[in-house]
Structure 1
Amino acid sequence: MDAYDIFKKITKGAKFKLKREPLVKPLESDVTIKSEPIDNSLTCPVVSSISSMEQEKDDFVLLNSLKDGQITRKKRKKDPNLSSIDDEIKQKRMREEKANQYRNENSISVVGRHVPEPIKSFKELSFVDADLLVNITKCGYTEPTPIQKQAIPAMLEKRQILACAPTGSGKTVAFLLPLLQHLEGPKSNGFRALIICPTRELAKQIQQECVRLSDGKKFKIHIISKINKAMSQYGPKSNGKYDILVTTPNRLCFLLNQDPPAISLKCVEWLIIDEADKLFEEGVRSFRDQLQQIVKACSSEKRKIAMFSATCTPVVSKWCVHNMRGLIRITVGLRNAVTDTVEQELKFVGNEEGKLLAFRDLIRNGVNPPVLVFVQSKERAQQLFTELIYDGINVDAIHSERTQVQRDNTIRSFREGKIWILICTELIARGVDFKGINLVINYDFPPSSISYVHRIGRAGRAGRKGKAITFFTVDDTVNLRNIAHILRQSGQQVPDFMLRIKKRSKRNGRSWR
């Protein structure tokens, strides 16, 4: 039995008239409680207790009163001073609605708390260094791309992000611009920013882009090209005043494992991980252990992490949720999808011998260089190169067994147009930006849908049109279903039978002859 039941029994048959001045002046009009009269009526004054509770949003006061056994809620008259607060709340909600509408127009989805509003043009970044904005225009960016519209303001507020956007959508500038802005302050001993990527080709490309954006600024931007030089350059005897380091995980971990460590990461304020899903892949070439060591070495309390990739796996998302406080997840378009600027085609060639015949038939009918040809291994790259070199085609191959000098020379010749067709492995499938790739040929069927997205993403970059042709044989039909779904999501015409193929078993591997 609670206090209300006891009070009800004691006052049974009584009539209350609360016209006397109460001990505590109520906020609202007095409440009169009437009960059914009986023969021996009794009148007595009662002081009712009032319990009030304020709420943050609407400034309500809950007034507990007894009326037919119900608890009623009454509003307190608003304080005139609170009108300005209400106006601010309304304006904030209107801004959020407009921001969400603008995100929907640009196919941007965000997950997180207190997400900054996206920018519509670079002119809104008035607080950013003027030289950086001028360099942005020189690099050919007249207006921000969807990923830049949301990622740049988020990083400028020092928020940790996981960004997923299609290939060729400007992710590099999306993290370099706020990074350079944050490094405008006084220098400290050791590197203040670290950019990790899976290949040396991509690392060199990011370093060159960083130099272009920081033109006119006194930033020290380094890349680990030779281990012996790095050990003496970044060791304990160096002055340690650097700004940005761009490198691959293996080379950096080699320096960290020296006794004493040949490099210090204690002052790193920003850790940028490009092609994040590649670094979290399982298998022989997994970088997960090295990445964990690098994150541990970046021990500064100011450290922030930003991850970028064209595809995102559950492993990456789970790691970010557990290790990045205040995380904002940004996705542009459909996750793990292909940009609509690439025309995609699946071509049945029968068997392995049919691949070479189909390829030579494409050459005979005429192709518009430059052309990238993807194969599954360095042995197959060398084999195809040997077949085509005698056909009078300007062709070359690049893979991990070639020296760094050979790889650099091959890429430079391909960019200059001296090589028309470049045969490559997954080494070039990640992040490397070749301007104006007109055709990508998947000579060997991609082992996964993620690999397919990155391969054909070498074409159709920065809004340009491109084409991708994927050869498949009878043995490839077990993997065909996932790729066919990607084509359907991209608006391409796909035969219905490809979507009804039995799903691939996880136990079935793929061996390349």
Structure 2
Amino acid sequence: MDILKLLSRSTNPTNKASSASNTTKLPSSGVSANPQLFHDATSETRGKKRKRGDRKAGAQVGQNEEDDGDVIDFFSTKSANPIVPTTKKSKADAPSKSASVESPAPKPTKLLDEGECKQILRSHRLKVTLLPSNDPIIEKKVKKSKKNKVSKKDVKKPEFTQIYPQPLTTFSDLRSKYGISGRMADNLAQQGYKIPTEVQMGGLPLLLQPKVALSEGSDLGIFDTSENINLLSVAPTGSGKTLAFLIPVVNEVVQRRRKSEEKGGHCLDAIIVAPTKELASQIVNEAKKLSLGTGIKVVGMKKGMKIVESEHSEDTDSSSESEEEDEDENGKTGKKTSAQPVAKADILVTTPGLLLSAVTVGSEHTPLPTVKTLVLDEADVLLDPLFREQTLGIWDSCVNPDLRVTLWSATMGSNIESLASSTIQARQQRLQLPTSARTIRLVVGLKDSAIPNITHKLIYAATEPGKLLALRQLLHPTARSTSNIPSLRPPFLVFTQTIPRAIALHSELLYDIPAEAGGSSRIAVLHSSLSDSVRDSVMTRFRNGEVWILITTDILSRGVDFRGINGVVNYDVPNSGAAYIHRVGRTGRAGRDGGVAVTFYTKEDIPYVKAIANIISASEKQAGLEPSEASVQKWFLDALPTPTKEEKKRLKKHGVEARRAGLEKDEKDGKGKKKMLISTKSGYERRLEHNRKGAIQGSKRRVLAQAEERVDKGEESEWGGIDG
């Protein structure tokens, strides 16, 4: 008889554990009532003085917590005041689509003054900056000695002007202040959009109606000739950037179709560029939901699709090339396919390589004169050396003088900003446009930082087997023996450095989930080597809840929205701080709390951990954690080594050298280095496998040596050849 069982019989630990797990708040537990990340309390006296009768700044936003349980119909034409909370309405009471379209637009509401705008923007940690114009910087040289040297005091520095546009406090203002169509307003209401996030609060007014957004307290005088602006937006992951750039794009197409004589015609008006196919497919789905019933055609770019007219000879050449590709891939010959017609679309969503190959004829790019909006989602990757040439080629093809460019990302360095500004300036000079477009930068929260509503854990695993053991403890929480490893419930993502490591880890964990819970069908792997159909199938199964654990590479680290993800596991250390921010941003989407980000590191990762530790420390400070409660302590940051610039570049390009796939030979001694593989084979099994491979190679070497000896002695082999 076990005395411990007798003593613990009355304690009932299973019930306590289950009750604790039920009270745990998880991102997959429900819909977030308030998607905003920041809503700091500010004093009423901050900024300009306001009259007593005016509405207090931030009153609508401040009442969100009180009105979370009520469903507010922002688009009802019966109520004169959209702010008054109402009781929950049934589907029958909701306004019909036809009624909302036929009803006249509501009267514009009163604009906020500059003091109120400042207070709301600051409480949500929004910083809007007007970047310097494209005028050349004047440098004044002063002769200090024999040589002319430029004094820093005499150089005219670029002027960065902070502005305070009208914030979007409710989605009802899109109809009343900024004049979006009634159909779009209905679509937003049906999808449950009530409270705008920070990036939507600051970006939508500037993109929809810049004159209205900068009407109060703004004497800049920069929008006298053109209403189009270029926008650089830096906002945390999961903060609603996709909706922020889709609403202005769809609204512009709707307004254009209303003014045109051909109501049913389609003209390529906007191009949205994304780095991966998964992200592009997600944008297409969101754009179709937003443009439902408007007659707008949203098309996702596919291989071989034509978007521009070309000459007959060029069509035959392209069709013959596509036939050869089909023969190579499918192994079928003798069947010729006809040339595809030009695809008609109002909004085109694509990856840079597909679109550039479609508009490139020889060494020249076919112009796209009808495109008025170019959106670069995840702009820091698209302007990185990996995609830079393709992205700039698409940018050069857009020759419309009224082109508006918007760049969106959660991480955007100063080099990307300077490259975007220089590209805009070069385009103005090349096309000889009379007016120079101005660029506005919108930053939400702390720039290049992780979201503050998730829990970060940095765990030292020492070796590769240690990481595998720690991951198995996450899969089996009952076997967890240390409190350092957090509790992580499926579904969650596991990121690896390379494709072979993702495949190997999937093979190791394939049978870790018992058959009663679904077995191997609950674990899947996704990477770029898989076909498009397989990748779509894995994504669909993961979104439907059939797959609990998805092992992947950085292909899913950017932009892809999984709102029910409970956590992210960095099995391999990310290649950069930006990669870490985007990886952990797959959880805690739309203001959901309870997400966990776990990062394992070994002895080989210690030189590169400091950047990640700094990001975790900054995120915990934003969340308001006390220094004693932080997972990254100051002594730990001081103890970590600081990598050099060369090490950072090497890490970003290749990752940790010890984990690169394959067997590479050392340049010094010519011997092979064993790479760290993910395996649970015992030392005895590895020794037997190594001996077996060594015996095979030794046998081959002996056969070659005997053949060389016979040749040296002049002996004829069994096959002597045919005498001439």
Q: TM-score, normalised by structure 2?
A: 0.55
How far, CA to CA, are the matches of 2:111 and 2:204 in structure 1?
Answer: 22
Pick closer, same or farther for the CA change 1:260–1:374 going to 2, 3 Å. Answer: closer
Q: Does 1:181 align with 2:247?
A: no
**Which of 153, 166, 179 is the matching residue for 1:117?**
166
CA root-mean-square deviation: 2.2
How far, CA to CA, are the matches of 1:178 and 1:134 in structure 2?
Answer: 16
Q: Does 1:483 align with 2:605?
A: no
Code of the residue aligned with 2:641 in structure 1: it is K
Contact 1:160 1:306 in 2 (8 A): yes
Code of the residue aligned with 1:422 in structure 2: it is L
Contact 2:235 2:444 in 1 (8 A): yes
Pick closer, same or farther for the CA change 1:262–1:475 going to 2, 3 Å. Answer: closer
Matches within 5 A, 1:228-239: 228=304, 230-231=305-306, 234-236=308-310, 238=341
**Deviation of residue 234 (structure 1)?**
4.9
What is the aligned partner in structure 2 of residue 133 from structure 1?
A: 185
Contact 2:272 2:375 in 1 (8 A): yes
How far, CA to CA, are the matches of 1:340 and 1:96 in structure 2?
Answer: 29
Aligned residue pairs total 416
Which secondary structure state, in structure 1, belongs to the residue aligned with residue 565 of structure 2? Answer: coil
**Which of 244, 247, 250 is the matching residue for 2:353?**
250
**Which of 374, 377, 380 is the matching residue for 1:277?**
380
What is the aligned partner in structure 2 of residue 150 from structure 1?
A: 202
Which secondary structure state, in structure 1, belongs to the residue aligned with residue 361 of structure 2? Answer: coil
How far, CA to CA, are the matches of 2:112 and 2:535 in structure 1?
Answer: 53
**Deviation of residue 262 (structure 1)?**
9.8
What is the aligned partner in structure 2 of residue 100 from structure 1?
A: 118
How far, CA to CA, are the matches of 1:475 and 1:487 in structure 2?
Answer: 20
Code of the residue aligned with 1:212 in structure 2: it is K
How far, CA to CA, are the matches of 1:425 and 1:214 in structure 2?
Answer: 32
Q: Does 1:375 align with 2:452?
A: no
Matches within 5 A, 1:198-277: 198-225=275-302, 227-228=303-304, 230-231=305-306, 234-236=308-310, 238=341, 241-258=344-361, 265-277=368-380
Q: Which runs of 5+ in 2 are unaligned?
A: 1-109, 131-160, 211-227, 311-339, 425-436, 479-487, 514-519, 621-629, 651-655, 660-674, 676-724
What is the aligned partner in structure 2 of residue 387 from structure 1?
A: 508
Contact 2:563 2:588 in 1 (8 A): no
How far, CA to CA, are the matches of 2:613 and 2:523 in structure 1?
Answer: 30
Pick closer, same or farther for the CA change 1:262–1:220 going to 2, 3 Å. Answer: farther
What is the aligned partner in structure 1 of residue 632 from structure 2?
A: 494
Which secondary structure state, in structure 2, belongs to the residue aligned with residue 250 of structure 1? Answer: helix
What is the aligned partner in structure 2 of residue 30 from structure 1?
A: none
Matches within 5 A, 1:410-449: 410-449=538-577
What is the aligned partner in structure 2 of residue 52 from structure 1?
A: none
**Deviation of residue 245 (structure 1)?**
0.2
Matches within 5 A, 1:312-461: 312-324=412-424, 325-365=437-477, 367-392=488-513, 393=520, 394-461=522-589
How far, CA to CA, are the matches of 1:216 and 1:378 in structure 2?
Answer: 42
Deviates more, 1:407-416 or 1:254-263: 254-263
How far, CA to CA, are the matches of 1:273 and 1:169 in structure 2?
Answer: 17
**Deviation of residue 487 (structure 1)?**
1.2
Pick closer, same or farther for the CA change 1:95–1:425 going to 2, 3 Å. Answer: same
Deviates more, 1:318-327 or 1:152-161: 318-327
Pick closer, same or farther for the CA change 1:263–1:418 going to 2, 3 Å. Answer: farther
What is the CA deviation profile of residues 150-207 of structure 1, one whole-angstrom value per residue up to 9, with x for unaligned ones?
Answer: 1101111332100010000000000111111111113677411000010000000000
How far, CA to CA, are the matches of 2:111 and 2:559 in structure 1?
Answer: 38
Pick closer, same or farther for the CA change 1:260–1:502 going to 2, 3 Å. Answer: closer
How far, CA to CA, are the matches of 1:147 and 1:262 in structure 2?
Answer: 34
Q: TM-score, normalised by structure 1?
A: 0.77
Pick closer, same or farther for the CA change 1:289–1:153 going to 2, 3 Å. Answer: same
What is the CA deviation profile of residues 76-126 of structure 1, one whole-angstrom value per residue up to 9, with x for unaligned ones?
Answer: xxxxxxxxxxxxxxxx99822321221101110010166632221112222
Which secondary structure state, in structure 2, belongs to the residue aligned with residue 183 of structure 1? Answer: helix
Pick closer, same or farther for the CA change 1:302–1:360 going to 2, 3 Å. Answer: same
How far, CA to CA, are the matches of 2:561 and 2:111 in structure 1?
Answer: 40
Code of the residue aligned with 1:110 in structure 2: it is V
Which secondary structure state, in structure 1, belongs to the residue aligned with residue 186 of structure 2? Answer: helix
Q: Does 1:192 align with 2:241?
A: no
How far, CA to CA, are the matches of 2:460 and 2:309 in structure 1?
Answer: 55
Larger radius of gyration: 1
How far, CA to CA, are the matches of 1:481 and 1:493 in structure 2?
Answer: 14
Contact 2:121 2:164 in 1 (8 A): no
How far, CA to CA, are the matches of 1:165 and 1:192 in structure 2?
Answer: 26
Structure 1 vs Structure 2: percent identity of aligned residues? 35
How far, CA to CA, are the matches of 1:427 and 1:263 in structure 2?
Answer: 30
Which secondary structure state, in structure 2, belongs to the residue aligned with residue 143 of structure 1? Answer: coil
Which secondary structure state, in structure 1, belongs to the residue aligned with residue 597 of structure 2? Answer: strand
Contact 2:365 2:393 in 1 (8 A): no
